Structure 1
Amino acid sequence: MKKTYEIPNHFMIGTSSSAWQIEGCAGKKPGQESWAELFYQTNPHRWYDERGPQKASDFYHHYKDDIATMAKFGMNTFRFTIQWPRFMQGNEVDPDESAYYQDVINTIKAHGMKPIISLEHWEIPAKLFKEQDGWVSRKTIDAYLHYVDCALHAFHDDVDTWFAFTEPNIPIDNGYIKKIWYPFVHDPQRAYQAHFHKILATAKAVALAHQKYPNITMGAMVHMTPIYAASNDIRDVQAAYYTDLFEVRLYLDAYLKGEIPSEIFTELKKYNCLFAYGPNDLEIIHENPVDLLGIDYYFPIRVQARNTPYEGPFCSKVYYEDYVWPEREYNANRGWEIYPKAILDVGRRIQKDYGNKPWFVSENGIGIEGEDRYRNDKGYIDDDYRIDFIQRHLGYALQAKEEGCNVYGYLIWSFIDNLSAINAFKNRYGLLELDLNTYQRIPKKSLHWLQNVMQKGELSVE
């Protein structure tokens, strides 16, 4: 049976991107390298086809046409990122790059779209990694806040919705816990020190924005992986509770309640990896929760109680083993479960546990390898799987809205095929196909489908 949802007025529909994944290092000057370049330069063999961030999708030279395409196909919102090391030349604002970002903003607004800016999507300057171990060092907070102040000063009159971070946990967990990204170590003490510094930096960015730029809102985007227990057995439920504690609540409680759960301190102390913090840090976090939350959702985590002891340095796997739900849908290209209803579950949780704070889906999409096999006789990719994916996830966001959840948008990852760490262009996410030889942009079937949805102002879901 079909259910039809009206798309509310002012409900954001659009796409999200990160600067290093679409701009790459095109146009950068010496000394403006980011974490991504450092990662690639030290380990090019780890990246698919050894393709790194040299040009990425070359948004830097195509942004006018790309933004015009978004608007042409009916989108009303574009979330992009300022590359910290591109915008700042050392401690000073680079006037050329400030002018570039100003024109990006102007172009978005000229096409009747809403610009949303994320200030950091893993784009920490490489220099801060080389000199002080990145976010493990408290000094990085000061450098970050100086950059935030400069960016807000430059663009606060034209952009009213800002985010301090996008997915702050991912480069930390992958770099210091899973040991699959630069700097390739497994050191939980450094990992949780970096996590804490990003949480504190977020609170300080909120405080800075409220004090100096009262016309804007400052939020944060979290990589949301809802946790589901394999059963109602007490051991499975407990495994889910502690997994959720470290995979979700570490940031969600800090951002929405202004507190880090007490069990975090207890457990990290037990495993000798508690982070250091100053006498006023927890008070600063408590007084400065974010104004709004972005939910980057791709897949859930399903857990069961451990049957064998965990061996190795501390991480959330101490508490659980993976559980494969017999009814799961699965994207084998990424190794991720597809579970659209999680968006509704997230909305209900924020409504129940977090005072129904405002939020939106800031990233959601599907990456598929070898999309060329779906090319039709006219030369275009018929990505019906992407249409189905977006349709169902957006449907649950609209259902959450109907139920009274304070959700006000859904942004797709991404408007164009983009670079990813290690995977490069192996898995394609875009509504636009990117030809890596010519950098031509070619609409996929999903882009025309989205245009039709926006023209109708409604979404029908089976």
Structure 2
Amino acid sequence: MKHFPKNFLWGTAMSAPQTEGQNLSFGKTATIWDHWFKTAQEKFYQDQGPKVTSDVYGHYLEDCRRMQAIGLNSFRTSISWARLLPDGKTINPEAVAFYRQYFLAMLDHGVEPIINLFHFDTPMWLMTRGGWENRDSIDAFAFYARTAFELFGDLVDKWTTFNEPLVHVECGYLYQYHYPAVVDFKRATQVAYHTLLAHKAAIKAFREVTQTGKIGIILNISPTYPKSEAKEDMLAAFRSDLLNTRSFLDPAVLGTIPDELLVLLKENELLPETKAEDHKLIENNIVDFIGLNYYQPRRVQAPKVTRLPAQMPADFYQPYDWPKKKLNPHRGWEIYPEALYDVAMMMKENYHNMPWYVSENGMGVAAEETFMNADGEIEDDYRIAFMKEHLSYLHQGIREGSNCFGYHAWTFVDCWSWLNGYKNRYGFYRLDLATRERSMKKSGRWMKQVSENNGF
């Protein structure tokens, strides 16, 4: 048996825009996803948009019972900014009632809510004012965060500000997977900087509102592995870590932006506009814990051609296709569970062994109905094997002293995934798209055993 620490969190993660549904009902206003689906529906897999998703809004009570049924003792989801504050200022009483009932239902079923404030769902009222490129976004987010803390702080002990902040930066301003689908490295760095300041301003508001509870941020951390030990490949890996890991992790935990990152941005004319008082905000508002999402490693090599100034991250590093990789063919992602041990050691050795947890880890598979048995159950042994491998390396890291307090799988019930819709399924529960009915997969029964035994 691999036993985990006492009171270890066994749970799953979801988000409001990917699961709630009722996208323009009960007082909620449009987000960038509602707008983009309306104006560019052809981009979305099988015309699957944000209107209904998994309809958690209509199924949350039964879903909390289902959480209990598979042994979950914790659950992370997000609040919809556009639902709680439809115009950025006015509290929506229907949203307050929904979220309070939802969080209470979790608690009533022995599930601790971990509540995130932003999961790629920028309200359109903010986007029409320039979105995250506008410095006003910092105060707007801080007001939203303070409002949430005041309304739900009696029910929620653990909060996070952003989920994977780099994703909404790079997907929206470099790679065109999120609205506004801009390709502009300089604008991307400005968006990233304002996002960082918004995170810090929310931490500050949290400390002012409550002396209890804890707050963190959720980052997508994929360790960078260079192609070789050649100095060019090592430099590419160092720069990849600067941009993809240390850009948010260092400020969150250490209160500093890496000097090397500032030099790199300056050399390439990518420095954002700042104000003198920003330094104090970044330095003083440190998180209580970190959530780390991990799916696949980042393997890089030196770029074949270097442009100065850089126009894209590929001018600093390029992907390396490791010939020995094990692949999830459905998602096209490498399966490399050893990285969770490396992440555990990174947190122990480089970040004061701050408390952290695996906030997402999972395996997306297409056409899961082909794995359905005669009783209608999805026999997702591949998902069980994936989690076992990752948990084994995580266990090794914990045994060697890394301060990890939980593991959350993505996800509880199959969810809508942005431009990919329901192409790849991740849930412990299968979602019938016609009826929105849920049915437990084999992995759900396995998770219950793991939770009950606090190990496997």
Equivalence for 2:365: 368
Equivalence for 1:391: 388
Equivalence for 2:455: 458
The secondary structure found in structure 1 opposite 2:96 is: helix
Equivalence for 1:159: 156
Where does the alignment leave 5 or more consecutive residues of structure 1 unmatched? Answer: none
Equivalence for 2:353: 356
Equivalence for 2:241: 244
**Alpha-carbon separation, structure 1, partners of 2:394 and 2:154:** 30
Equivalence for 1:292: 289
- Aligned partners of 2:133 and 2:187 also within 8 Å: yes
Equivalence for 2:323: 326
Would you say 1:124 and 2:132 are equivalent positions? no
* Shift in Å, 1:202: 1.1
String of CA shifts for 1:231-271, please: whole Å, max 9, x gaps: 11221111100111111110111111111111222222222
* Shift in Å, 1:273: 2.0
Of 41, 66, 71, the match for 1:69:
66
- Aligned partners of 1:242 and 1:316 also within 8 Å: no
Would you say 1:108 and 2:106 are equivalent positions? yes
Of 149, 161, 172, the match for 2:146:
149
Would you say 1:171 and 2:168 are equivalent positions? yes
State how 1:214-253 maps to structure 2 within 5 Å: 214-253=211-250
String of CA shifts for 1:305-346, please: whole Å, max 9, x gaps: 122345996232112222122221111222211111111101
- Aligned partners of 1:310 and 1:317 also within 8 Å: no
**Alpha-carbon separation, structure 2, partners of 1:50 and 1:186:** 25
Would you say 1:53 and 2:50 are equivalent positions? yes
Q: Which moved more, 1:445-454 or 1:310-319?
A: 310-319
Where does the alignment leave 5 or more consecutive residues of structure 2 unmatched? Answer: none
Q: Which moved more, 1:98-107 or 1:177-186?
A: 177-186
* Shift in Å, 1:27: 6.1
**Alpha-carbon separation, structure 2, partners of 1:435 and 1:413:** 18
Equivalence for 2:259: 262
State how 1:4-23 maps to structure 2 within 5 Å: 4-23=1-20
Equivalence for 1:44: 41
Equivalence for 2:301: 304
Equivalence for 1:140: 137
- Aligned partners of 2:149 and 2:209 also within 8 Å: no
In structure 1, what residue type is equivalent to 2:125?
K
Runs of 4+ aligned residues of structure 1 deviating over 6 Å after TM superposition are: none
State how 1:192-211 maps to structure 2 within 5 Å: 192-211=189-208
**Alpha-carbon separation, structure 1, partners of 2:27 and 2:269:** 40
In structure 1, what residue type is equivalent to 2:211?
P
String of CA shifts for 1:381-414, please: whole Å, max 9, x gaps: 1111101111111222222211110100000100
String of CA shifts for 1:135-158, please: whole Å, max 9, x gaps: 111111111111111110011111
**Alpha-carbon separation, structure 1, partners of 2:107 and 2:24:** 24
Distance 1:313 1:41, change over 3 A: farther
In structure 2, what residue type is equivalent to 1:348?
M
The secondary structure found in structure 2 opposite 1:380 is: coil
**Alpha-carbon separation, structure 1, partners of 2:163 and 2:444:** 25
* Shift in Å, 1:354: 0.9
**Alpha-carbon separation, structure 1, partners of 2:23 and 2:120:** 17
Distance 1:311 1:276, change over 3 A: closer
Of 175, 182, 187, the match for 1:185:
182
The secondary structure found in structure 2 opposite 1:381 is: coil
- Aligned partners of 1:374 and 1:383 also within 8 Å: yes
- Aligned partners of 1:26 and 1:60 also within 8 Å: no
Distance 1:34 1:312, change over 3 A: farther
**Alpha-carbon separation, structure 1, partners of 2:453 and 2:264:** 51
Of 399, 415, 423, the match for 1:418:
415
**Alpha-carbon separation, structure 2, partners of 1:387 and 1:369:** 16
- Aligned partners of 2:220 and 2:294 also within 8 Å: yes
In structure 1, what residue type is equivalent to 2:246?
R
Provide the aligned C-alpha RMSD in A.
1.5
- Aligned partners of 2:139 and 2:201 also within 8 Å: no
**Alpha-carbon separation, structure 1, partners of 2:372 and 2:310:** 46
- Aligned partners of 2:177 and 2:419 also within 8 Å: no
- Aligned partners of 1:26 and 1:58 also within 8 Å: no
**Alpha-carbon separation, structure 2, partners of 1:181 and 1:154:** 30
Equivalence for 2:436: 439
- Aligned partners of 1:297 and 1:343 also within 8 Å: yes
* Shift in Å, 1:30: 6.1
In structure 2, what residue type is equivalent to 1:397?
L
Equivalence for 1:428: 425
In structure 2, what residue type is equivalent to 1:82?
I
In structure 2, what residue type is equivalent to 1:219?
G
> Share of identical aligned residues, percent?
36
- Aligned partners of 1:25 and 1:33 also within 8 Å: no
* Shift in Å, 1:40: 1.6
**Alpha-carbon separation, structure 2, partners of 1:382 and 1:315:** 42
**Alpha-carbon separation, structure 1, partners of 2:293 and 2:177:** 21
* Shift in Å, 1:446: 0.6
